């Protein structure tokens, strides 16, 4: 359920000279207060009654009457969302359909802001470091809230200007799980830490890391951090569900970024330290694709290349196999609009096929009807009723490489289960694969 923090309408008045002429306020309503409301549109499972963050400074950006450049004015609100002072009236602002009103929480005047130049001295007792860091609350730390609205050519002075603020950074967290008894006990009793590198944590010393206040874009010009400088993200208390133990990490806020270099993709390391201070390490490369939920009337879920998207929360889910096998097995990355997730919101059952070996193992297990092979099926798919659904999450090569790709990838009908196979637009041996289904037969064919 969506929770809206609403700033109650408030008069904003400041005496200034009005400007006559086309597209400027008239004397009839020019001295009317310019009222502002705003909301942060989030779903919150643990902080439903938290008030609007009164300790966050917001900046209202507009073009002053008679001028051509944008200017920003600091606005304070109390925990009820009411403004603490009187600021502007309509005769103070320039009216033009080509201009915008903007609200955000970045403490700089002007429209193009170098985020590396902002320091704690600009806002007392506030950390303005916009490098990757743990989430510290709505609108705090490096969390950028923003929205722009076109300036109305005929203002309705009886209605406030409403901003529905958006997050412009990307939130990332990790879920580490295992069904192996030894690893489960370690997840319960030990300390889990996730290390991440080959990502942009902060800009180069001579680079640009900017926020465009009018366009609402964050740009980076930074180097990928190496393993020696990896981001270290702490795990929280372990939870158990059936035969699986999971540890979810703190959420971190990263600048938006894409990962197009296939030879230098982000690396993930899971370190578990036991009571004797012995550490076991698991290492893997982040998957190439992610599942993103499009929030509209369709509620579609689609696959796209992995990236840290602005305004989205990526839950990167991994499963640790056996104590003697220190490989990380990735589940599909879950991506939704920036939200706080409770345990029930994270689907830990989605799995799929990522390589030729996995597809071969799945097909052979499926076609062996003398054995139910449920463990193999669970490794690659989800069961609903008597239908297994399998997803191909990555284009693969080397499957049946000595011969043509068989019809329906070699899956045969079974007498006990139906099958749904989703290719998600991926290829096998450079051949596009269509989605297909196999209905349950009376006897195996």
Q: How confident is the model at residue 401 (pLDDT cuts 50, 70, 90)?
A: low
Cβ density class 378-411: b for 16+ within 10 Å, e for less: ebbbbeeeebbbbbbbbbbeebbeeeeeeebbbb
pTM of the model: 0.68
The two structure tokens encoding residue 245: 């133990």
**Among 311, 192, 195, 205, residue whose Cα is nearest residue 254:** 311
Edge-to-edge strand list for the sheet holding 145-150: 3-4, 36-42, 161-167, 145-150, 100-104, 58-62, 71-75
Residue 4 in 3-state DSSP? strand
* Cα-based angle 256, 260, 264 (whole degrees, multiple of 5): 105
193-247 pLDDT, tens per residue? 999 999 999 877 666 789 999 999 999 887 899 999 999 999 988 888 778 888 9
319-362 pLDDT, tens per residue? 887 655 566 777 778 777 775 433 333 333 346 887 888 899 99
Q: How confident is the model at residue 279 (pLDDT cuts 50, 70, 90)?
A: confident
Pseudo-torsion of CA 375, 380, 386, 389, nearest 10°? 180
pLDDT of residue 11: 35
pLDDT at 93 over 80: yes
* Cα-based angle 352, 355, 361 (whole degrees, multiple of 5): 75
Rounded CA-CA distance 102/29 in Å is 22
Q: Which helix (H) or strand (E) holds 188?
A: helix 181-189
Give percent of the chain above pLDDT 70: 78
The most distant pair of C-alpha atoms in the chain lies apart, rounded to whole Å, by 87
406-442 pLDDT, tens per residue? 999 999 999 999 999 999 888 999 899 999 999 998 6
pLDDT of residue 277: 81
How many other CB atoms are found less than 10 A from the CB of residue 107? 17
pLDDT of residue 112: 92
Mean of pLDDT over the chain: 79
Domain residues of the chain, as ranges?
1-105+144-167, 170-345, 356-438
pLDDT at 370 over 50: yes
What average pLDDT score do residues 382-403 get?
A: 84
Q: How confident is the model at residue 366 (pLDDT cuts 50, 70, 90)?
A: very high
Query: Does domain 170-345 fall into CATH 2.60.40.2630?
Result: yes
Q: Burial level of 72, CB count in 10 A (0-12/13-18/19+)?
A: buried
What average pLDDT score do residues 15-37 get?
A: 55
pLDDT at 32 over 50: yes
DSSP 48-116: TTPPP-TTS-EEEEEPBTT-SS-EEEEE-B-TTS-BSS---BGGGB---TT-EEEEE----SSSEEEGG
Rounded CA-CA distance 304/307 in Å is 9
DSSP at 124: T
pLDDT of residue 348: 30
**Among 73, 47, 237, 65, residue whose Cα is nearest residue 151:** 65
pLDDT of residue 105: 93
pLDDT of residue 302: 74
């Amino acid at each position: 359920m969506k929770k809206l923090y609403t700033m109650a309408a408030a008069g904003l008045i400041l005496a200034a000279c009005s400007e006559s002429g086309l597209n400027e306020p008239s004397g009839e309503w020019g001295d009317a207060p310019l009222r502002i409301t705003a909301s942060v549109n989030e779903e919150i499972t643990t902080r439903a009654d938290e008030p609007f963050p009164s300790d966050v400074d917001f900046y209202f950006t507009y073009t002053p009457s008679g001028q051509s450049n944008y200017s920003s004015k600091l606005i304070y609100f109390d925990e009820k969302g009411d403004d603490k002072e009187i600021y502007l009236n309509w005769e103070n602002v320039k009216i033009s359909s080509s201009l915008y009103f903007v609200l955000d929480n970045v403490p700089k005047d002007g429209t193009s802001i170098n985020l590396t130049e902002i320091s704690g001295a600009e806002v007392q007792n506030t950390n303005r470091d916009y490098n990757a860091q743990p989430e510290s609350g709505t609108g705090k730390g490096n969390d950028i809230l923003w929205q722009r609205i076109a300036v109305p050519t005929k203002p309705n002075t009886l209605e406030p200007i409403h901003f529905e603020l958006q997050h412009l950074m990307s939130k990332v967290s990790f879920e580490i799980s295992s069904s192996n008894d030894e690893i489960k006990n370690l997840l319960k009793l030990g300390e889990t830490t996730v290390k991440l590198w080959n990502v942009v944590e902060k800009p180069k010393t001579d680079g640009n890391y900017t926020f465009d206040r009018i366009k609402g874009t964050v740009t980076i010009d930074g180097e990928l951090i190496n393993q020696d400088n990896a981001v270290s993200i702490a795990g929280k208390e372990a939870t158990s569900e059936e035969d699986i133990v999971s540890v979810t990490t703190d959420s971190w806020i990263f600048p938006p970024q894409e990962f197009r270099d296939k030879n230098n993709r982000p690396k993930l390391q899971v370190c578990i330290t036991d009571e004797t201070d012995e550490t076991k390490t698991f290492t893997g490369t982040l998957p190439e694709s992610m599942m993103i939920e499009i929030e509209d009337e369709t509620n579609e879920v689609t696959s796209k290349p992995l990236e840290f998207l602005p305004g989205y929360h990526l839950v990167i889910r991994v499963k640790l196999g056996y104590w003697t096998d220190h490989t990380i097995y990735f589940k599909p990355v879950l991506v939704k609009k920036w939200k706080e997730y409770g345990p029930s919101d994270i689907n830990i059952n989605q799995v799929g096929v990522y390589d030729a070996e996995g597809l071969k193992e799945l097909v052979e297990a499926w076609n062996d009807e003398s054995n139910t092979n449920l463990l193999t099926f669970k490794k690659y798919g989800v069961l609903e009723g008597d239908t297994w659904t399998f997803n191909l999450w990555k284009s693969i090569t080397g499957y049946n490489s000595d011969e043509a790709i068989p019809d329906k990838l070699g899956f045969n009908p079974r007498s006990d289960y139906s099958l749904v196979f989703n290719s998600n637009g991926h290829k096998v041996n450079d051949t596009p694969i269509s989605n297909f289904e196999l209905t349950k037969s009376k006897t195996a064919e």
